[in-house]
Chains A and B, each alone.
Chain A
């Protein structure tokens, strides 16, 4: 078993599952959190992630296969996806991919799921296309506000980590998103994003 990445929430290992190349995601105990709170969070997110990864497939979205879940130890065995994180692609390529990301997010929202952690490091560009990961913070919801929170987070990530390309990337993202959800709903959600931004500290309120 080889450590691939120490993420914020979980450690990611490369291993095998019944002869298949596999990724093992373990949500390890966090010593800084009170035990009961920590267990609650880790178990909930492990179960939620496994469920949503499978459910998202029925919307026509590519996610890694779930091989096995151990909710007691907060472990998930997933299909290994060969490819590159969007975050690490060259700027031009990121802009191009944003349209596809917009479509995927649109599909999730269309089916009543918010992802909860839309960053450029949660998408992999593989040979078979774009794959979305990390559903630990996802939620079933039909609230416009929740969908807008997803969009705002993605915008925040572009704004901070990809500041040079934010305008182009965001425009293409919205294009892809609009393709799936249609003009009316998209406008509504974008307006809600502005409302949420205004809630921010010292946003331009007069």
Chain B
């Protein structure tokens, strides 16, 4: 079965073709174009959607060419229906609807967060993991129980990705700022005290954000180091609590921040202590990509035959724990 997935929730516009044989998936192509705001600024939803609209034909045709398939070969089309930025989501949805109605291909609206998890599971081979989803849009600790992904812990305010991006932008870096902060942090060993807020399995980053802004004058490298250490330790503790509470024997980390080496070091040391297997999504597929959408479409196609075109909305606020998983 061949599936085209379209991702356009935030700064990435991506198309990917995956072939599914039995339970195995093979990524035939995954093409991305990323909107880059000017240094020191964040995503402007209108500008990002304009970027997506302009680049969508080229990304789509390159994706098909690389996979060596024709549109008429596709069995299903899926698109990220949320959560995300409204104007951006609509671009992906319009492309998907057009293909679906013109070529008469079944269409599947997919939850973006579910995509991160399922693609992570497919690529790493994790079976029944506790999942840590850390990105610009999510910071959640999840486990699967009777048809739904249940939230064991999450951020009470901003996400880990937002925290890093906002500090980075404040310091004048280009978004996304994670890699730059990681690089600067690796040059320092000086820890400046910062607020550490863990509430049960939940974390809160807003106070840490304000406090970190204040210590930037003491040196950007020490600031980045202290920020990463504090935020990741908080994440580590919350994860450890959830791990110990659920007794899961696998941990899977997905989402853009999963690419951070220091974070995965912390988490893998926690896994070692609790005798549990550690999986992290490969760097290339940790962040937003069409494959995650394409793969969930394929999984859903085993249980239902597409969605009525009239019901293919986008949902800016679509919490993962409201999605019923049928497959």
Contacts and interface: CB of A to CB of B under 8 A. Distances in A.
B39 interface: no
Interface string B71-85: 000000000001100
Given A8-B237, A204-B317, A153 B202 contact: yes
B230 to A, nearest CB: 7
Contacts of A149: 156, 199-200
Nearest to A7: B244
Contact of A160 (B151, B156, B237): B151
A187 interface: no
A126 B250 CA distance: 32
Interface string A183-206: 000000000000010011111111
Nearest to A139: B199
A112 interface: no
A202 B246 contact: no
A156 B242 CA distance: 12
Interface stretch (A16-24, A27-35, A62-70, A98-106): A27-35
Contacts of A37: 191, 193, 196, 229-230, 233
B292 interface: no
Interface residues on A, range: 35 or more
A200 B200 contact: no
A153 B266 contact: no
A203 B315 CA distance: 11
Interface stretch (A52-60, A71-79, A113-121, A171-179): A113-121
B156 A196 contact: yes
Nearest to A33: B233
A4 interface: no
Given A37-B229, A37-B230, A161 B245 contact: yes
Given A37-B230, A204-B317, A156 B191 contact: no
B236 interface: yes
A196 B156 CA distance: 8
A202 B269 contact: no
Q: Which of A119, A160, A205 has the most CB of B within 10 A?
A: A160
B128 to A, nearest CB: 15
B159 interface: yes
A21 B140 CA distance: 39
A137 B200 contact: yes
A95 B156 CA distance: 27
Interface string B161-194: 0000000000000000000000000000001010
A121 B245 contact: yes
Given A33-B233, A37-B191, A156 B152 contact: yes
Contacts of B265: 32
User: Which label, helix, strand, loop or mixed, suits the secondary structure of the B interface?
Assistant: mixed
B274 A119 contact: no
B288 to A, nearest CB: 16
B150 interface: yes
A121 B245 CA distance: 7
Contacts of A199: 156-157
A164 B199 contact: no
B155 interface: yes
Contacts of B316: 202
A196 B154 CA distance: 12
B199 to A, nearest CB: 6
A91 interface: no
Interface stretch (B28-36, B93-101, B141-149, B302-310): B141-149
29 contacts: A31-B269, A33-B236, A34-B233, A37-B230, A37-B233, A40-B196, A116-B200, A117-B241, A118-B200, A119-B200, A153-B199, A156-B202, A159-B151, A160-B145, A160-B151, A160-B152, A161-B245, A163-B145, A163-B148, A164-B146, A196-B156, A199-B156, A201-B83, A201-B138, A201-B139, A202-B83, A202-B318, A202-B319, A205-B317
Interface of B: 82-83, 137-140, 143, 145-146, 148, 150-157, 159, 191, 193, 196, 198-202, 229-230, 233, 236-237, 240-241, 243-246, 265-266, 269-270, 273-274, 316-319
5 nearest A-B pairs in the assembled complex, by CB-CB distance: A160-B150, A153-B200, A8-B241, A8-B244, A8-B240
